[in-house]
């Protein structure tokens, strides 16, 4: 059997491809704010050459009865995993010892097992090919089939599941970047493979942008195999994404294609409009779930299980304030165990854990919250997202906002000494359930402050009344945090998206000049989007919205630092404390260790693209120039920057009205401040320098310009001074 004939659902395409079809064209077109960077571009999605092994060998299409609907497969996978959840053990060690590959095969059935295997291999080897992943999935499935049928288990059948999958990878030759990992022994081998999972730095080339008509034509002709191909592409580009999410997104993808291509005979622009409306829903689920999972794994890896449990304790206590501590603590432990499985790459264990938690939550509604009833009535694939986004339940009536008993009780120090972590967990639970208006990160900082207070005040020789200052310090921290968020929102409301992002660019370029212009623009764009989302909310929701979304962006920056160190300040903030990461980065100033860019020909240049009528492209170009200039002159004052950018703004307005803008730029700058040019270079040398080295930067046009004053020229900070000091 061909390695691509995984099952009738996945790659029966080997029997239905027409020989003249060399490309599979699928379409997601979304021009929203979700930037995906290099690699996967879901807002454009998906056209790439169909692997040779997927091309047709039998032109006759499969009879309808011989094909199983993808929706059926996906629902079966999730329903089976839910049914077996009660019988599955709780820990990863138990999974390895008690659940063999044959047992898991019997639980999921062959086609379901194979679908999960394909996702796993695509995620573990994102630089591989569909053919290699399909062949490995077929091999593992064949082993599982033999083990399920055997009367006695062979040694291969008794191996832990993760070892079987890694052995299969390591038996393949010339897989990208796998040789070093395969040379290691378990568990180091698994850790090595997990370190290669990086969804944001692409193994994949940018994908072309098909038109709607071509996408619908291919969907109608090759719908089922393309859905399998889609699952593979999403899996390899998002190696931390939950397998249930991938399957759920596949359903949404199919629904989108059916809805938008249902009237393929009609005008193509109607299909375009349909994709533009519906694709963002599919893209959003992939992006949010992938980022959230990678972020959580980053916290677990860098700060450990204790920090992750504290974070989940704060979040769950806020979500279910009526639940007792024992119930909340049990749920926290289960969620942390789930993330350990998911982050270590145990795709099957991750699915099982997640479904077991859903079952527990929905069976405990009377203890947790009445608001999750509607979520638990939803289809299984929608249940998890619904519970994740459900509103916090109301606090119990009469619950005081204070927890003075944790300060004033005489036996506090004794309890802290006897059961430190459990005592701190109870404090965090009680404080979190009382304050849904605080972010989880702020609650962790409050918990850390309480721990530090007890360490100091419960030590021998501590002065009487030591603990009483805790409440005043708490009020101070709350006020400072709320003030930072209010100030940021005031600036956002005053300046709007573009100018607010420019403010962030100026700040973060000085903090992290080692980042590329593209990275700085991407991160600050994401921060600006947070402002648009959160600053319109009331005070009771502003802080959790702003800081928890900002935490995701800072997590991206810190993962970028781990991959390629930025500077010592960022290292300190990303490594010392998860709870204090946001305040730490906020207090960073100019990186004194940074060596500014040297002035070289071509560092700054005027081009005709500055005269584009497309405002978004013009703004992006100006922001690139702003970043470059700040890397060249990081110590520039706001007043100097305002003068420089005002000169550029006036010059651009004049020259973009001319037939030859670039020639105009040279002329205008020459007339503006000829004294800035060293005399020995002469006019010819000066114009050559200008053509290669001019820089424009952008600030609002309202900044006043005094063109008669040479020192306000844009050349001033390139040529160092108006006295005509020589160029390097």
Segment 308-363, tens digit of pLDDT? 999 999 999 999 999 999 999 999 999 999 999 888 777 777 888 888 899 899 99
Predicted structure pTM score = 0.74
Tell me: pLDDT of 214 over 50: yes
DSSP state of 618: H
Domains of the chain: residue spans and CATH = 101-199 (1.10.246.10), 482-587 (1.10.246.10), 595-674 (1.10.246.10)
The separation between CA 707 and the C-alpha centre of its own chain, rounded to angstroms, equals 46
Tell me: pLDDT of 596 over 70: yes
720 vs 183, which has greater pLDDT?
183
Q: Report pLDDT digits (tens) over 12-54.
A: 233 223 333 333 322 222 222 222 223 333 333 333 333 443 4
CA angle, 411 then 414 then 418, to 5°: 140
8 vs 158, which has greater pLDDT?
158
Tell me: pLDDT of 230 over 70: yes
Task: Summarize the confidence of residues 606-613 as an average pLDDT.
Answer: 80
pLDDT value of residue 210:
54
Phi and psi at 321, nearest 5°, equal: -70, -15
Tell me: pLDDT of 445 over 80: yes
- CA contacts within 13 A on the Cβ side of 695: 27
- Reported as a pLDDT band with limits 50, 70 and 90, residue 251 is confident
User: Which region among 103-112, 138-147, 297-306, 713-722 has the lowest average model confidence (pLDDT)?
Assistant: 713-722
- Reported as a pLDDT band with limits 50, 70 and 90, residue 268 is low
Q: Highest-confidence range of 149-163, 442-456, 680-694, by mean pLDDT?
A: 442-456
Task: Provide the greatest CA pair distance for the chain.
Answer: 94
Q: Report pLDDT digits (tens) over 271-316.
A: 788 888 888 888 888 888 888 888 999 999 999 999 999 999 999 9
Residue 152's CB: how many other CB atoms inside 10 A? 5
383/433 Cα distance (integer angstroms):
24
258/271 Cα distance (integer angstroms):
11
- Reported as a pLDDT band with limits 50, 70 and 90, residue 520 is very high
pLDDT value of residue 695:
37
Task: Summarize the confidence of residues 412-435 as an average pLDDT.
Answer: 94
Task: Summarize the confidence of residues 624-640 as an average pLDDT.
Answer: 89
Average pLDDT, the chain: 76
Task: Summarize the confidence of residues 169-177 as an average pLDDT.
Answer: 86
pLDDT value of residue 544:
95
Task: Summarize the confidence of residues 60-73 as an average pLDDT.
Answer: 42
User: Which region among 85-89, 263-267, 531-535 has the lowest average model confidence (pLDDT)?
Assistant: 85-89
* Cβ proximity of 251 and 71 under 8 Å: yes
Tokens representing residue 480 in the block: 């400072």
654 vs 60, which has greater pLDDT?
654
């Amino acid at each position: 059997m061909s390695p691509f004939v995984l099952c009738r659902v996945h790659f029966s395409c080997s029997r239905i491809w027409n020989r003249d079809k060399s490309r599979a064209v699928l379409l997601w077109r979304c021009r929203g704010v979700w930037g995906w960077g290099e690699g996967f571009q879901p807002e454009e999605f998906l056209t790439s050459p169909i692997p040779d092994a997927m091309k047709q060998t039998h032109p006759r299409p499969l009879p309808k009865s011989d094909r199983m609907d993808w929706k059926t497969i996906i629902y079966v996978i999730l329903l089976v995993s839910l049914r077996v959840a009660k019988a599955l053990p709780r820990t990863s060690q138990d999974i390895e010892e008690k659940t063999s590959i044959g047992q898991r095969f019997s639980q999921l059935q062959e086609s379901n097992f194979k679908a999960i295997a394909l996702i796993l291999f695509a995620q573990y080897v994102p630089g591989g090919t569909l053919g290699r992943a399909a062949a490995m999935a077929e091999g593992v499935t064949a082993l599982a089939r033999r083990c399920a049928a055997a009367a006695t288990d062979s040694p291969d059948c008794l191996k832990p599941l993760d070892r079987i999958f890694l052995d299969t990878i390591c038996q393949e030759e010339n897989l990208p970047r796998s040789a070093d990992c395969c040379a290691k022994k378990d568990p180091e081998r698994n850790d090595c493979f997990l370190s290669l999972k990086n969804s944001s730095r692409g193994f994949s080339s940018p994908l072309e942008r098909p038109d709607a008509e071509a996408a619908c034509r291919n969907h109608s002709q090759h719908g089922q195999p393309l859905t399998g191909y889609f699952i593979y592409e999403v899996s390899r580009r998002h190696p931390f994404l939950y397998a249930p999410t991938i399957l759920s997104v596949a359903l949404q993808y199919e629904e989108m294609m059916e809805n938008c291509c249902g009237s393929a005979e009609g005008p193509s622009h109607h299909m375009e409009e349909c994709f533009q409306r519906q694709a963002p829903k599919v893209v959003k689920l992939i992006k949010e779930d992938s980022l959230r999972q990678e972020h959580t794994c980053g916290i677990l890896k860098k700060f450990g299980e204790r920090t992750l449990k504290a974070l989940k304790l704060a979040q769950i206590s806020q979500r279910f304030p009526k639940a007792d501590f024992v119930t909340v603590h049990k749920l926290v432990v289960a969620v942390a165990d789930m993330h350990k499985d998911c982050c270590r790459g145990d795709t099957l264990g991750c699915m099982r854990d997640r479904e077991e938690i859903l079952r527990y939550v929905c069976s405990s509604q009377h203890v947790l919250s009445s608001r999750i009833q509607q979520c638990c009535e939803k289809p299984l694939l929608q249940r998890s997202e619904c519970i994740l986004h459900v509103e916090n339940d109301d606090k119990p009536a009469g619950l005081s906002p204070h927890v003075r008993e944790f300060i004033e009780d005489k036996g506090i120090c004794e309890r802290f000494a006897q059961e430190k972590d459990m005592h701190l967990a109870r404090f965090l639970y009680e404080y979190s359930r009382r304050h849904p208006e605080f972010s989880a990160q702020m609650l962790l900082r409050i918990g850390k402050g309480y721990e530090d207070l007890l360490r100091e005040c419960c030590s021998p020789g501590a002065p009487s009344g030591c603990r009483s200052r805790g409440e005043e310090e708490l009020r101070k921290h709350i006020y400072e945090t709320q003030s930072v968020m209010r100030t940021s929102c005031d600036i956002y409301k005053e300046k709007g998206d573009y100018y607010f992002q420019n403010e962030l660019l100026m700040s973060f370029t000085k903090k992290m000049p080692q980042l590329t212009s593209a990275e700085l623009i991407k991160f600050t764009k994401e921060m600006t989007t947070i402002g648009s989302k959160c600053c319109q909310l009331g005070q009771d929701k502003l802080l959790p919205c702003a800081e928890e979304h900002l935490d995701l962006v800072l997590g991206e920056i810190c993962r970028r630092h781990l991959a390629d160190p930025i500077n010592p300040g960022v290292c300190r903030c990303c490594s010392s404390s998860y709870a204090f990461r946001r305040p730490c980065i906020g207090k960073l100033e100019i990186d004194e260790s940074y060596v500014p860019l040297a002035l070289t020909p071509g560092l700054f240049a005027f081009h005709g693209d500055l005269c584009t009528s497309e405002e978004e492209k013009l703004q992006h170009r100006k922001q690139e120039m702003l970043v470059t200039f700040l890397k060249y002159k990081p110590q520039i004052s706001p007043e100097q920057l305002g003068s420089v950018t005002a000169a550029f703004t006036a010059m651009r307005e004049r020259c973009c009205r001319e037939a030859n803008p670039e020639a105009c730029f040279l002329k205008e700058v020459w007339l503006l401040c000829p004294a800035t040019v060293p005399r020995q270079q002469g006019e010819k040398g000066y114009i050559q320098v200008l053509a290669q080295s001019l820089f424009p930067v952008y600030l609002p046009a309202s900044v006043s310009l005094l063109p008669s004053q040479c020192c306000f020229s844009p050349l001033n900070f390139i040529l160092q001074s108006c006295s005509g000091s020589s160029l390097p």
